Amino acid sequence: MTLHLPNPDGTLRAYEPRTAPPAVPGTGGGSAFTSRTVFSAAHVVADPFADTTPDGPAAVDWNATLAFRRHLWSHGLGVAEAMDTAQRGMGLDWPTAAELIRRSAAEAKHAGGRIACGVGTDQLTATATTTLAQVRTAYEEQLAVVEESGAQAILMASRALAATAKGTDDYLDVYGHLLRQATEPVILHWLGPMFDPALEGYWGSSDLDAATDTFLEVIAAHPDKVDGIKVSLLDARREVDLRRRLPQGVRCYTGDDFNYPELIVGDDQGFSHALLGIFDPLGPLAAEAVRVLDTGNVDGFRELLDPTVELSRHLFQTPTRYYKTGVVFLAWLSGHQSHFTMVGGLQSARSLPHFARAYELADGLGLFPDPKLAQERMRTLLSLYGVNQ
């Protein structure tokens, strides 16, 4: 049945949704990939019945949230937990994030899934009197929670550090302190200001060449404590250059949701592993593509994954930080949750034409396990916005 989808200029276009379910990629029995290490940064499912406000504590539907992680593990993907995809600093407060880490880590042990969890400082709001010692203490508190859960730690970029640091030496001091005390190698996470404007000038400079030098200095001083780096700058050339400068044994996990197929494939001098928010809605398809790559079939990998880039670039269009709304929207259409609400009310962060295009692109890719359910839910959303069919 035809859907009439809204354009940004207020007109409607006719779209014929697919009627047949897609060919379901094999799960591989949840077995690990052999050529790349791949994490999906997973979203959280809000509790739609909780009496909350956008600026209040987050309320999470734990059953649906953990079920989605089991879905990712069933396809062999690792879960990157409590990252920006899970709305850290955008609705998900630290006490709830800590509970999320503990619950997901326990679930990973039971399911045999790989998990790494974000360590930040979001329990600390920086002021003019905030000190580096307070930033370190906030990081240490979160690092302890992750390590006690048994998960791998991902040291995320800190808004408090960005606001407090006076120069590169402060970054070297804080990260050096944390790496020395980490019990296992961590993943260092460089999130660019397009994802979070508060991180402008991270590593002590808005000049990305200078910032890169400082980032590499941190790694070079503690290579045994750095499993890898996760780079989210949406600049493929810069990621490749950085990747080639890493010490032996330190991995690069691409966080580039614009250029991930080519970065994962790599070149004759290396490749990137993956830690991507777009692999939340692309989970089964992404897993199938990596399994094809495991066989050495680069063309087959690109044939599966290249067509998804248009959807990813749509979801991550500026303001990029609101990509989370599209991720949850697609999870709702796919039947992974019964509602389209988000912690902090972030379901309002994108427009109806944006949702319509996301639906159209995802349906064209065959991402919906039940196309009829996705169509009915899209029709419901259109009706809610006053678009009569």
pLDDT digits over 145-185, tens only? Answer: 999 999 999 999 999 999 999 999 999 999 999 999 999 99
pLDDT confidence band for 144 (50 / 70 / 90): very high
Helix intervals (H) in the chain: 62-74, 94-111, 132-149, 159-164, 168-181, 208-221, 236-244, 260-265, 283-294, 298-305, 309-315, 323-333, 352-365, 371-384
The average pLDDT across 213-227 equals 97
pTM for this structure? 0.96
Give the type of residue at 211.
A
Integer-rounded Cα radius of gyration of the chain: 20
Place of tokens 């890898």: 228
Determine the pLDDT at residue 384. Answer: 95
Residue 345 has pLDDT above 70, yes or no: yes
Spell out the residues 6+ positions from residue 17 whose beta carbon is closer than 8 angstroms to its own. 1, 3, 363, 371, 374, 375, 378
Q: Tell me phi and psi for residue 221, to 5 degrees.
A: -75, -20
Could you tell me what percent of the chain has a pLDDT over 70?
A: 98
